[in-house]
Amino acid sequence: MARPAAGRATVVRFTRVAGNAEPSLEHRSPADPAPLPPGERRGLGSEWNSPGWTVMLVIVHMNAATRDDGGCPVSKPPLPEEAVAMLAKANPAVVTTLRPDGRPVSTATWYLWENGRVLVTMDEGRKRLEHVRNDPRVSLTVLDGGNWYTHISIVGRVTELREDEGLADTDRLSQHYLGKPYAQRDRRRFNAWIEIDRWHGWGSLKDTDQPG
């Protein structure tokens, strides 16, 4: 389960109004104009029962960042414009799928960024096609072709899998990477669309305060 990551602290002041009425918002730091997340009033204690009390509430906020079960900072979609611009290029990438025993398998791949999803295609004989049919969880790491220190790792699920009729989408990928249609036409290929659950950027696209 993801939990809030450390980020900038925004102080918000609430003032008790009367009786058991809800407190009114007196001030919100201009550094964080976002609405208050639900559940942030917990832990304020018995002060709510004393008229006239003013309490301070600290909200942690940093680009919707969370930490995964291993404590590593990650961010939720949507991705920022600069990350989308990088993903729209024909960059080198590696996709990871899971074997039936749970062991990961990583393979170099072409990909296309399409409206917040990622498209990859696979030959009918590829083991990773069998893997995603059994377990849709995947990850994709994309390296900036001009600076490999800058990269984005995506964790998500294959939510749509179907045969690439006429190799139409494979040709789109080939045009994107090679500037010409896909050469091998005698084998079936399958399209997999990946929905993003979370992502992590590094280098010029670093999305958290993780040191390094």
pLDDT, one tens digit per residue, over 155-192 is: 999 999 999 999 999 999 999 999 999 999 999 999 99
Return the CATH class of domain 73-205. mainly beta
pLDDT, one tens digit per residue, over 138-157 is: 999 999 998 989 999 999 99
**Cα angle 116, 117, 123; round to 5:** 160
DSSP string, 155-175: EEEEEEEEE-GGGHHHHHHHH
pLDDT, one tens digit per residue, over 81-122 is: 999 999 999 999 999 999 999 999 999 999 999 999 999 999
Q: Delimit the domains of the chain by residue range.
A: 3-62, 73-205
**For residue 74, what pLDDT band results from cuts at 50, 70 and 90?**
confident
Q: Is the pTM of this model over 0.85?
A: no
Q: Is pLDDT at 58 greater than 80 in this prediction?
A: no
- Closest to 97 (Cα-Cα) out of 134, 124, 125, 68: 134
Task: Provide the token pair at 192.
Answer: 């997999």
- What is the pLDDT, as a whole number, of residue 212? 59
Task: Provide the token pair at 6.
Answer: 């450390």
Sign of CA dihedral 174, 117, 88, 105: negative
57-83: average pLDDT: 64
| Lowest mean pLDDT segment, chosen from 68-72, 94-98, 127-131, 172-176 | 68-72
The Cα 18–Cα 50 span in angstroms is 9
